[in-house]
Amino acid sequence: MNAYFDNSATTAPCCEAVKAVSDAMTRCWGNPSSLHFQGNLAKELLDNSREAIAARLSCKPEEIFFTSGGTESNNLAVRGAAYQMRRMGRRIVSTSIEHPSIDETLNKLEAEGFEVIKLKVDSFGRINEKELFAAVNSNTVLITMMLVNNEVGTIMPIQAAKRAAMAARSPALIHCDAVQAFGKMPIKPSALGVDLMTVSSHKIHGPKGVGALYVRKGVKIKPVSFGGEQEHKLRPGTEAMPAIAGFAAAAKALPDPQKELERISMLRDYMVSRLGELDDIVINSPPDALPFVTNISVLGIKSEPMLNFLSERGICVSSGSACSKGKKSHVLLQMGLDKKRLDSPLRISFSRFTTVQEIDALVLGISEGKKVIRAVK
């Protein structure tokens, strides 16, 4: 049987999203900025889609700005906040295990004269909150931290960022990359104390090429692209309505996040128990990781041959972030794992469509793969 466990990279589009994309392309294909009836239909669809994403975040529709995806949202949030706030300070605080769309943007800002602090993590990918408080000072203008790590599932203490800013009497804006958390756990930006939050469509069974940035009402950031009135000039350009409609439909189709979290936790625990029956399997994720993401190492077998073996049997996993293809995981490196574990990671990521039968197929595949690959060696 086919079994898909690379949901942290992308998810299969749900039928609701596919239908919404088709409808937007065949019925509401007008430009939302046009004043005729076809444009009005598209504008109504745009407004309804914005309301759907806002409802999932328990925020106001006017706080949602559509983008082309998580990478653009992260770039816009980090660069936009830094440029907006630079007269008040030059320090930015983040972590050493952020997604490349954050990490590389921070490197560029550092080259432009910003002071960037990347907090180190322990062997489970956790930062030390005392070090966070020590790093944030009155010159800090931005704190950016993912809510859930995309490779090991570590849940980061984003609420501590606001407390650190308040303790330092810092003007810092708080940005949260919630791409891996959105739709998988209860999220409310105001409760987390964040000013900016990134979410993405294709991680929740929506189409690729669309995401959103939450910007708390009253917060201003600089646009980084120019050329139109769309999205209140923060993200100009004709809105990708089919993708946006599909994103909204996928968001509305999501099950209750708390109940789904409980179901996925049981599936994760079942998988870990089954993997525990095999030798030379090490769990790299922390015990309290978001259960949708589990990182393991199959000691003595490099990732690529195991990935290929499983793929030939219809089982899809990954060795790390899809945005770092071909490179060793910077997350696992920062966690200080030994060479055996660094050479053999597998990221197993669930979705709302994951089943027990798929998990059984995965465990059997890993078991058989170990025997076959070692025999060849």
Q: Among 15, 176, 316, 323, which one carries the catalytic annotation? A: 323
Other CB atoms within 10 Å distance of the CB of residue 181: 27
Asked if 323 is an active-site residue, the reply is: yes
Question: Mind spelling out the 3-state secondary structure of the chain?
Answer: CCEECECCCCCCCCHHHHHHHHHHHHCCCCCCCCCCHHHHHHHHHHHHHHHHHHHHHCCCHHHEEEECCHHHHHHHHHHHHHHHHCCCCCEEEEECCCCHHHHHHHHHHHHCCCEEEEECECCCCCECHHHHHHHCCCCEEEEEEECECCCCCCECCHHHHHHHHHHCCCCCEEEEECCCCCCCCCCCHHHHCCCEEEEECCCCCCCCCCEEEEECCCCCCCCCCCCCCHHHHCCCCCCCHHHHHHHHHHHHHCCCHHHHHHHHHHHHHHHHHHHCCCCCEEECCCCCCCCCEEEEEECCCCHHHHHHHHHHCCEECECCCHHHCCCCCHHHHHCCCCHHHHHCEEEEECCCCCCHHHHHHHHHHHHHHHHHHHHHC
Q: Which residue has the tokens 């704190």?
A: 143
Max Cα separation, the chain? 69
Other CB atoms within 10 Å distance of the CB of residue 195: 24
User: 130 burial class (0-12, 13-18, 19+ CB within 10 angstroms)?
Assistant: exposed
Contact of 246 with 45, CB cutoff 8 Å: no
Q: Which sequence positions are flagged as catalytic?
A: 323
